[in-house]
Amino acid sequence: MKISIFNLSDLYARQSAQMGGMMETKSKANSFLETERLGKLMVKYAVPCVISLLVAALYNIVDQIFIANADYLGSYGNAANTVVFPLTVVALAVAVMIGDGCCAFVSISLGAGNKEAAHKSIGSAVLLCIASSLILTALYLAFRDPILTLFGGQVNAETCHHAREYFFWITLGIPFYMFGQALNPIIRSDGSPKFAMASTLAGALVNIVLDPVFIFVFRWGMMGAAVATVLGQVLTAALAVRYLCHMKAVRLERASFRLHGAWAKKYLPLGICSFLSQISLVMAMAAIQNMTLKYSAIDPVFGQTQYTQIPMAVLGIVMKFFQIVISVAVGLAAGCIPVAGYNMGAGRKDRAKALFTRLLAAEAVVGAVALLIVELFPRQLIGIFGAANESVYYTEYAVKCFRVYLCMMVLATVNKGTFIYLQSLGKAFASTAISMVREVLFGVGFALLLPLWFGLDGVLYSMPVSDLLTFLICAIVIRYTCRTLSSETQGKARCYVDGGLV
């Protein structure tokens, strides 16, 4: 299948040509993105974005913590949570395609001084998000059992029961979840990263407060965990609606809210990489969870009925921890998109390159800190998820899973940062291709092949092997990209050394 990728470089050229000499004399919205120190901009944009994504990741992991510590749910409920988790990632994939694509397009448009393109693309994105979320919700409800089976929902009867219950209520919240996630990057592109962070944080706090009430006081079980999550998502979506009525750099009009294909064709391709990154992750999850289900059934220990759900439950916990780390990596890169997009639109490729190198260094630090945590404190981590109420096999398998499955996290964070940042540099095809190789070719391929030789351990080996091979590819792309940006700006970039801009 041939995928048409919108070329960011062509967009920069067209926007610059349209504005002509006006760009030098006209005061542009968000012009500080071209003049402020890069380090300060990273803190301003990336930190709130990291917090927003961390909070979003905590929605699911908070559910899992309370579920694990409920004596009437335990590892059965945790396994059910693991089964349903990929389905929220599918919804997130559609939301970030719309939101990230619109964010990049709006940033470029504001950099070129084209506010008309900005407000029309935002209005179109809002309508597209609402329509797609309702369609996805209907599909989930119509095909519940086949979908749950696809992600290992048939571990045992009790896990299946909990998965169905959790799935139903989470599905009802899909429209609110997608709306909040899609609007988050759009709000950042308008120059309000702190509001984007606050709206997500408010929803997460609601979830954290209501989870113990619904699970331990009312004893609503999986329904209680899901309802707490959905109520938090409703609050985040409501705050996003409020912001739309009071935007800063862009003023929305009634004419903005039209679902025209012409605008979708302009911003959706800019979010294709984000979409494919999430969808390919879902494919990898399906392969990993099904191989876990298959090989745990024939394992000498986990093949016993009372322990069958343990590998699925533990894997879900480890994947959630990984999701938290990756949320930091993605937040650092996504927070840089408005800065990189604006500077590319303004012709400042020297600043885009400098920002790229700073980002990669930050990603490596995040991965190193996370690696130390999982290698040194795996028992403490699994203790948070109800290990005291489970068998010794639960803890021992979790320790192995943390240490093996996540041993290449430094490379994983650098890889993820590279995928995302390449989009804002006009490297949409390269970004998409590498992401697909990582998640589909390596992620799915090794998850299916390695268990043939190593059994249940092969599932754990698939992750570090995939990250190592992907990094070898990314290293080549990073070097080429930096050299290209240097050659493109040589002799053209304005000197701002005295101002400390680069």
> What value does the mean pLDDT take over residues 327-332?
88
How many C-beta atoms lie closer than 10 Å to residue 11's C-beta?
A: 23
At 8 the pLDDT is 46
What is the band of 502 on the pLDDT scale with cuts at 50, 70, 90?
Answer: very low
CA distances from 470 to 13, 271, 412, 423 (A): 32, 21, 8, 17
How many structural domains does the chain have? Answer: 1
Question: Is 498 part of any domain?
Answer: no
Domain range spanning residue 211? 39-489
Q: Is the distance from CB of 459 to CB of 451 less than 8 angstroms?
A: yes
At 30 the pLDDT is 65
> What value does the mean pLDDT take over residues 41-55?
81
At 415 the pLDDT is 94
Question: Is 494 part of any domain?
Answer: no
At 138 the pLDDT is 97
Question: Is 421 part of any domain?
Answer: yes
Question: Is 180 part of any domain?
Answer: yes
What is the band of 292 on the pLDDT scale with cuts at 50, 70, 90?
Answer: very high
Nearest to residue 341, comparing CAs of 134, 47, 122, 107? 107
Question: Is 380 part of any domain?
Answer: yes
> What value does the mean pLDDT take over residues 415-440?
83
Q: What tens digit of pLDDT does each residue of 233-280 get?
A: 999 999 999 999 888 878 787 777 887 778 888 888 888 777 877 888
| Distant-in-sequence, close-in-space partners of 269: CB < 8 Å, separation ≥ 6 | 4, 5, 6, 101, 428
What is the band of 12 on the pLDDT scale with cuts at 50, 70, 90?
Answer: very low
In the chain, % of residues over pLDDT 70 = 89
pLDDT above 70 for 319: yes
| Distance of alpha carbon 69 from alpha carbon 40, whole angstroms | 41
Place of tokens 């309370």: 66
> What value does the mean pLDDT take over residues 143-156?
88
| Distance of alpha carbon 498 from alpha carbon 356, whole angstroms | 21
At 188 the pLDDT is 83
Question: Is 274 part of any domain?
Answer: yes
Place of tokens 């899992």: 64
Question: Is 496 part of any domain?
Answer: no
Which stretch, 116-125, 197-206, 277-286, 477-486, has highest mean pLDDT? 197-206
How many C-beta atoms lie closer than 10 Å to residue 35's C-beta?
A: 13
What is the band of 489 on the pLDDT scale with cuts at 50, 70, 90?
Answer: low
Question: Between these two residues, 180 and 42, which has the higher pLDDT value?
Answer: 180
Question: Is 497 part of any domain?
Answer: no
pLDDT mean across residues, the chain: 84
